[in-house]
């Protein structure tokens, strides 16, 4: 195979992947009051990672992001279940949620809900599953 020089692709990927990650995080946090949430945020993050894989190849990205995506799926699921089971500890029905207002230095008054933790579980699971599918198919020879 001829080694091509993908300078433009690689340079743009650095920029675009960065913006994609940012947008994914934005979508993830927007979920409560605006369109967005864990699922779409996770897919967007996975898209950014796939873009990096396409531009830089397996070896480089594996070094930059040394995740085992199956473990990531498991961790996401555990977080999601734990938010449901957590309410059992407080004597509340399964999957009850609560929220409170916190004062965060930069953002000021913020409403933080346990639904966000559940969303985090969904987010990680979606990344894990998508990346497992993509990488399993792509590394199949």
Partner 1 sequence: MSNLAVLPIVIPLIAGVLAILFHKKLKIVRVYSQVLTLINTGVVTYILFYVHQNGSVVLQAGDWMAPFGIVLVADMLSMTLVLTTNIVALACIFYAPKSLSIKQEEFYFYTFYFLLITGVSGAFITGDLFNLFVFFEVLLMASYGLIVLGGEKVQLRESMKYVLINLFSSMLFVTTIAFLYSVVGTVNMAQIAERVGEAEQTGILTTIGILFFFVFGTKAALFPLYYWLPKPYIAPNPVISALFGALLTKVGIYSLLRVFSLIFVYERDVTHELFIWIAALTLIFGSIGALSTNNIKLVVAYNIIPAVGFMLLGIGVYNSTGFSGTVYYLVHDMIIKAALFLLVGAITYLVGTSDLRKMRGLIHHYPLLGWMFFISAFVLAGIPPFSGFIGKLVLLQGAIEADRIVIAIIGLGSSLLILLSVLRIFIRGFWGEKDESIIPDRKAARGFILPVAFLLFFSVLLGVGAEWFYPSIESIGDYLMNPENYIESILKE
**Contacting residues toward partner 1, per CB under 8 A:** 70-71, 73-74, 77-78, 81, 84-85, 88, 92-97
Q: Compute the 3-state secondary structure of the chain and give helix, strand, coil in percent, each to the nearest 5.
A: 70, 10, 25
User: C-beta of 54: minimal distance to partner 1 in Å?
Assistant: 27
Smallest gap, in angstroms, from Cβ of residue 48 to partner 1? Answer: 24
Instruction: Using the minimum distance from each CB to partner 1, give the nearer residue, 85 or 133.
Output: 85
The answer to whether the CB of 73 falls within 8 A of the CB of 136 is no
- From the list 44, 3, 19, the residue with the least C-alpha distance to 127 is 44
Q: Which residue, 122, 95, 123, is CA-closest to 24?
A: 123
Closer residue to partner 1 in complex, CB, 36/76? 76
Residue 77 vs 135, nearer CB to partner 1: 77
Tell the smallest beta-carbon distance from residue 85 to partner 1 (Å).
6
**DSSP H/E element including 40:** helix 38-64
């Amino acid at each position: 195979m001829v080694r091509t020089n993908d300078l433009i692709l690689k340079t743009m990927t650095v920029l675009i992947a960065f913006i994609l990650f940012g947008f994914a995080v934005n979508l993830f946090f927007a979920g409560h009051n605006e369109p967005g949430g864990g699922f779409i945020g996770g897919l967007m993050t996975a898209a950014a990672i796939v873009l990096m894989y396409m531009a830089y190849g397996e070896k480089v990205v594996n070094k930059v992001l040394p995740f085992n995506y199956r473990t990531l799926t498991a961790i996401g699921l555990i977080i999601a279940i734990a938010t449901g089971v957590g309410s059992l500890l407080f004597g509340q029905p399964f999957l009850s949620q609560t929220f409170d207002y916190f004062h965060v230095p930069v953002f000021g008054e913020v409403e933080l809900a346990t639904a966000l933790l559940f969303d985090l579980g969904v987010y990680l699971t979606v990344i894990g599953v998508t990346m497992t599918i993509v990488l399993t198919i792509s590394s199949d020879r």
